[in-house]
Chain A
Amino acid sequence: MKAMRKLLAYTFAWIAAITAGHLYLNVNWAVLMNDRLPLSKRKLNVAYIPVT
């Protein structure tokens, strides 16, 4: 039983660490926050191509 609880705790910690890493590395928070602002306050997204 003790071993099972330990395993669950490690599993939970691992999932939490991976989730935190994903949220930090792969989610663009600036874009998400910008999308939640009122329309009049949002920054415009401007696309460009790396050629003239």
Chain B
Amino acid sequence: MSNKMQAAFMVAPMAIALRAQGVPVKIVYLGHRYGSAVVVQKDGPVKKFTDLRGRVVAVPSRFSDERLILFRAMKINGMNPSEIHLVEMAPPDVAGALAAGAIDAFSMGEPFPSQSEMSGRGRVLFHAREYWPDFMSCVLVVRQDVIDHRPEAVQVLVDGIARSGLWLEEKERRRAHRTQAADFVGRYYYRQDPKLLRWALLKPEDRVKYEPLSPRKADFEIVTKLMRETGVLDREIAFEEYVDIRFAEGAAGQKPWKYEAGWAKAQ
């Protein structure tokens, strides 16, 4: 809002809530699909979703898709929303809290489910895809003044993300590219152990997907409906009010980057 950042990746409900509150931003693309999971103690008492009845489950924020997936799963399993005690917790804290027994489960984006699995203390109860086909979480949000005055720069950004996604999904090179990405991003961007990101990107290889990343009305209608039902969106909001689809349409014909480890730059 202060214009220190002109664009940001954030969880979809947060972006929609900001727009609904009058903040001049639009969603122009997705960051990924899937990549969220509900994790329980490895040898704990929770074996199926309904075992979460009466238990404490951590979510990253009330404006997160990871919270909404729980409501969706509760509805499918015939549970009442009040039957699970949700608490908001900073993502880096959840694996430790689960191991210590402070919470019974958490619903989070990667790499925290992977972190818990790698430690030997957590077990994925379900991945988001099991309850929500084409689940999406992070979206790319851009300030409206940048969209209005510099659409070509936004298009370059979206094209680059589209090409990176296609590069990560290239069939015969997918495993190699994901390994390279985990090593590079872990060391130079996230300061995270590359082993953790390799786990998140490769176990299994479609744990996080990077296509299709075009924002689709039907996907967002599921999000806004759940937001309304769960009290984090106080008015109806049209898809066109919070999404600008033209940059995704402009990126539709993009091809994956040509890049292998050791090359000086991508082509």
Task: List the interface of chain A (C-beta within 8 A of B).
Answer: 39-40, 44-52
Cβ A45 vs Cβ B5 within 8 A: yes
The CA-CA distance from A48 to B146 in the complex, in Å, is 18
A36 shortest CB reach to chain B, Å: 15
B109 within 8 A of A: yes
Nearest-neighbor residue (CB-CB) of B185 within chain A: A50
Report which B residues bind A (CB closer than 8 A). Answer: 4-10, 31-32, 35-36, 60, 91, 108-112, 137-138, 146, 149-150, 153-154, 157, 189-190, 192, 200, 208
Closest to B207 in A: A52
- List the A side residues contacting B108 at CB < 8 Å: 51
Supplied contacts A45-B6, A47-B5, A51-B110, 10 more A-B pairs, CB within 8 Å: A39-B150, A40-B149, A44-B157, A46-B5, A46-B7, A48-B8, A49-B10, A50-B189, A50-B192, A52-B31
Interface majority SS (helix, strand, loop, mixed), chain B: mixed
Take A39-B149, A44-B146, A44-B153 as given contacts and tell me if A51 and B5 are in contact as well, using a CB distance cutoff of 8 Å: no
CB <8 Å contact, B109 and A52 = yes
Select from chain A the residue with minimum beta-carbon distance to B140: A46
Are A47 and B32 in touch, CB under 8 angstroms?
no
In the bound complex, do residue A45 and residue B7 qualify as a contact, i.e. CB atoms below 8 Å apart?
Answer: yes
- Among B6, B91, B149, the residue within 8 A (CB) of A51 is B91
Main secondary structure of the interface of A (DSSP, over half): loop
Measured CA separation A39–B7 after assembly (Å): 15
CA distance A44 to B157 in the complex (A): 9
Q: How far is the CA of A45 from the CA of B138 in the complex (A)?
A: 17
Q: Is the CB of A52 within 8 A of B6?
A: no
Q: Give the docked Cα–Cα distance between A27 and B200 (Å).
A: 35
Asked if residues B36 and A52 are in contact (CB atoms below 8 Å), the reply is yes
Most buried by B among A40, A46, A51, A52: A52
Question: Which residues in A have their C-beta under 8 angstroms from that of B110?
Answer: 51-52
| Nearest 5 CB-CB pairings of A with B | A52-B35, A47-B8, A52-B109, A52-B110, A51-B109
Partner of B208, one of A40, A44, A48, A52: A52
Q: Which residue of B lies closest to A46 (CB)?
A: B7
Whether the pair A44, B7 counts as a contact (CB closer than 8 A) is: yes
A-B contact pairs, 17 of them (CB 8 A): A44-B7, A44-B153, A45-B4, A45-B5, A46-B7, A46-B8, A49-B138, A50-B189, A51-B60, A51-B108, A51-B110, A51-B111, A52-B110, A52-B111, A52-B137, A52-B138, A52-B208
Closest residue of A by beta carbon distance from B208: A52
Residues of A near B149 (CB, < 8 A) are 39-40
Taking the closest CB of chain B, its distance from the CB of A17, in whole angstroms, is: 30
